[in-house]
A and B are shown apart, each in its own frame.
Chain A
């Protein structure tokens, strides 16, 4: 029964996540609140591992979250679910490729979609920012900020903008190294 729910949820993600791997993030974030499959901090690990391993980001994220929720069958079910809508839609479109590609309605809809997806991803990341850079359960404002983590975050962000060509895996390894050296955050 739970497997069926997992399949349907990931089928929906495959159907509505437009614009590449990270576009699945808002949906995965929503599942954190709805089901006990994984937590917001698991989600940060999912992104880290998915960016550090080969294969399409969206597929990696589906496999990992499905596996965390329901083990090996979960990984397979989530991946099948996220892939199936693509397969069906493309098989339909393949016959009418040119008409679809040049259709002004389709083009106009996707201009709006692409802009809104940026906002959706930004909102989805707030949860991860909260657990990574802030202390929860503090009442005094200054104590809410995890200063050590924020300094590391600023350093890593500047580093990332400066060396954008560096592979994410290197970057995530630096994060792990800093975490170990500084003894967590």
Chain B
């Protein structure tokens, strides 16, 4: 019981103090999980991250589930996941309530018009970075362009595009992966 509680608290700390999730969380996870609590080894943690990238869902949540399961089974995984999610839920709801009450003020509306433009710019930069990581050959460009066109100009759900891309990926890349 004590360890379940400490799993929850440790992951709440990780969720409550790191911005950005995913890779931004790796250093603090190494400190909290590997060095301080010695729940997993560094290699195990990196392995979890690798699998977290190759499975659907949020990488930080996937990692929390792995560590919790390794320590205390199914119950441990539930406590860890609840821990990493709880700070977000509370903080976001407070901010959302606050914004809702002030949304009608002209100053706030002007600020958000500016913020929207900043968001366009940050996402453009994120897309460029993702491109550099994910696009390695001309087939990748076809996948990317195909997904873009299907998603932007047809009503096909992203869900189907993801399924199609995964299936086509097996056909196009399997030979390379087997070698």
Contact = CB atoms under 8 A, between A and B. Distances in A.
B114 A175 contact: yes
B137 to A, nearest CB: 9
A185 B95 contact: no
A106 B20 CA distance: 26
Contact of B96 (A68, A86, A128): A68
B34 interface: no
Interface residues of chain B: helix, strand, loop or mixed (majority):
helix
B1 interface: no
Given A44-B116, A108-B173, A180-B107, A157 B125 contact: yes
Given A117-B130, A157-B121, A126 B152 contact: yes
A26 B16 CA distance: 26
Nearest to B118: A175
Q: How large is the interface on B (under 10, 10 to 19, 20 to 34, 35 or more residues)?
A: 35 or more
Contacts of A149: 113, 117
Interface string B91-119: 11101100100000011011111111111
A171 interface: yes
Given A15-B56, A83-B85, A119-B146, A184 B113 contact: yes
B61 to A, nearest CB: 5
A104 B174 contact: yes
Interface string A83-118: 101110111011001001100111111111111111
B117 A83 contact: no
Contacts of B127: 118, 121-122, 125
Contacts of B57: 14-15, 17, 58, 82-83, 85-86, 89-90
Contacts, number: 383
Nearest to B142: A115
Nearest to A90: B65
A8 interface: no
Interface in B14-39: 15-22, 25
Contact of B159 (A27, A89, A90): A27
A57 interface: yes
Interface of A: 12, 14-22, 26-27, 30, 41, 44-45, 47-60, 63-64, 67-68, 72, 75-76, 79, 82-83, 85-87, 89-91, 93-94, 97, 100-101, 104-126, 128-129, 131-133, 149, 152-153, 156-157, 159-161, 164, 167-169, 171-172, 174-180, 182-185
6 contacts: A51-B19, A56-B22, A109-B173, A126-B152, A160-B121, A167-B19
Interface of B: 15-22, 25, 47, 50-51, 53-62, 65-66, 69-70, 74, 77-78, 81, 84-85, 87-89, 91-93, 95-96, 99, 106-107, 109-128, 130-131, 133-135, 139-141, 143-149, 151-152, 157-159, 161-163, 165-170, 172-174, 176-178
Given A54-B17, A59-B58, A118-B135, 14 more contacts: A18-B55, A56-B21, A56-B59, A56-B61, A82-B58, A83-B58, A86-B56, A90-B57, A100-B54, A108-B174, A109-B173, A115-B169, A182-B114, A184-B106
